[in-house]
């Protein structure tokens, strides 16, 4: 379905009433393993997605499905504890709904994280990768349908979706933390099935360093409405066919959990420096 500008406004008005003058600056969309950062927000105000007009609840297991508004590392943040994925049955526009609502509330910086499979054979499971660009070849995009000019132009430029200023800043933070931070291209696959080895080989030939099932709907919408964007991937596993073993959701979760301290330190360091 196509949302109208007034749908977004109604959602924003609902949240504004709950926030009593608090204006978020940074939206954090946290993927597998980092949702706990939402629990560390100071002076938190929690709003469940299901209570917000036009919002769709998140159905993914271990995703709490709520906003946490408050302060983190001195920044006024809105944390999405749990995101919507298209494989849950949402359109890309639905999956990215919160990005536009938060833009109306004043946020103009987005930090987005995910877990993905490493396609680059020079990477290892557990590596963190700064997203420098993405590939989305499948499926209609989130901007399909009437353009909502209040958010942005019909044909938005995608030359620098992942903001060079924030990429530079993340490099500096990683160096200070003596953390190895890979860099590369994230390729979107709709899932929920993992890729076949042939799809992973194709992704590599196309220039991808990691493959995953999220993030791109949100970043396209965020680029359209003028956010500065920082994207970081946890390579929770080597993508299908790279190693002689099948993939499992359990492996993804285990690596995400084991990497959480490094991952959260990087994200919090970037947040502070933004
Ligand atoms: N492919 C797609 N999505 C993923 C993967 C993967 O290998 N690992 C974690 N999320």
pLDDT category at 146 given cuts 50, 70, 90 is very high
Nearest CA, atom 3, ligand 1: 212
Rounded to 5 degrees, φ, ψ at 27 are -100, 125
CB 151 within 8 A of CB 100: yes
B/e letters for 158-189, b = 16+ CB within 10 Å, e = fewer, are eeebbbeebbebbeebbeeeeeebbbbbbbbb
Q: How many helices (H) and strands (E) does the chain have?
A: 7, 9
User: How high is the pLDDT of residue 138?
Assistant: 76
| CA dist., res. 29 & res. 215, Å (int) | 9
Residue of the CA atom closest to atom 2 of ligand 1: 212
Residue 115 C-alpha to ligand 1 middle, in angstroms? 6
| Higher-pLDDT residue of 247, 178 | 178
Q: Quick one: pLDDT at residue 252?
A: 81
Q: Would you give the distance in Å from CA 141 to the centre of its chain?
A: 16
Say yes or no to pLDDT of 256 above 90. Answer: no
Ligand 1 centroid vs 129 CA: distance in angstroms?
Answer: 14
In the reported structure, the alpha carbon of residue 213 is separated from the centroid of ligand 1 by a whole-number distance in angstroms of 7
The reply to whether omega before 233 is within 30° of 0 (cis) is no
Phi, psi for residue 135 in degrees, rounded to 5? -125, 125
Return phi, psi of residue 76, to 5°: -80, 115
CA distance 45 to 58: 19
Provide the pLDDT for residue 242. Answer: 87
The ligand 1 atom nearest the CA atom of 195: 1
Residues with CB under 6 A from ligand 1: 115-117, 189, 194-195, 211-213, 236-237, 239, 247, 252
Locate the ligand 1 atom nearest the alpha carbon of residue 247 and give its number.
Answer: 7
Encode pLDDT of 16-40 as tens digits. 999 999 999 999 998 877 888 888 9
In the 8-state DSSP scheme, what is residue 203?
H
Structure tokens at 22: 């608090």
pLDDT in tens, 200-220: 999 999 999 999 999 999 999
Q: What is the pLDDT of residue 78?
A: 97
- Give buried/exposed letters for 102-133 (b at 16+ CB in 10 A, else e): bbbbebebbbbbbbbbbbbeebebbbbbbbbb
Q: What is the mean pLDDT of residues 154-181?
A: 97
Q: Ligand 1: distance of its center to the CA of 85 in Å?
A: 13
**pLDDT average, residue stretch 93-104:** 96
pLDDT of residue 82: 83
Give the mean pLDDT of the chain: 93
The helix (run of H) or strand (run of E) holding residue 266 is helix 249-273
Distance CA 147, CA 38 (A): 32
Query: Residue 201's pLDDT is what?
Result: 97
Asked whether residue 14 carries a pLDDT value surpassing 80, the answer given is: yes
Closest by Cα among 153, 57, 139, 148 to 98: 57
Is 90 exceeded by the pLDDT of residue 250? Answer: no
Give the pLDDT score at 187: 98
Find the mean pLDDT for residues 36-56: 91
């Amino acid at each position: 379905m196509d949302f109208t500008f007034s749908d977004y406004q109604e959602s924003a008005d609902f949240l504004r009433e709950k926030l009593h003058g608090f204006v978020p600056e940074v939206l954090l969309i946290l993927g597998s393993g980092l949702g706990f950062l939402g629990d560390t927000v100071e002076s938190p105000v929690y709003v469940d997605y299901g209570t917000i007009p036009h919002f769709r609840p998140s159905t993914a297991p271990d995703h709490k499905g709520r906003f946490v508004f408050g302060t983190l590392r001195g920044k006024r943040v809105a944390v999405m504890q749990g995101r919507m994925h298209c494989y849950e049955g949402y359109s890309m526009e639905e999956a990215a709904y919160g990005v536009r609502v938060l833009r109306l509330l004043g946020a103009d910086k987005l930090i987005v994280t995910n877990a993905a499979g490493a396609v680059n054979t020079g990477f290892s499971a557990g590596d963190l990768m700064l997203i420098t660009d993405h590939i989305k070849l499948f499926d209609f995009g989130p901007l399909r349908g009437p353009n909502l000019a209040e958010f942005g132009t019909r044909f938005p430029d995608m030359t620098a979706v992942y903001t060079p200023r924030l990429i530079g800043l993340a490099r500096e933070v990683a160096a200070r933390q003596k953390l190895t931070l890979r860099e590369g291209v994230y390729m979107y696959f709709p899932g929920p099935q993992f890729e076949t080895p042939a799809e992973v080989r194709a992704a590599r030939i196309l220039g991808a360093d990691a493959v995953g099932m999220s993030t791109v709907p949100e970043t396209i919408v965020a680029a359209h409405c003028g956010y500065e964007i920082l994207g970081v991937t946890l390579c929770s596993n080597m993508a299908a066919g790279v190693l002689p073993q099948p993939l499992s959701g359990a492996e993804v979760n285990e690596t995400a959990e084991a990497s959480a301290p490094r991952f959260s330190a990087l994200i919090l360091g970037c947040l502070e420096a933004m």
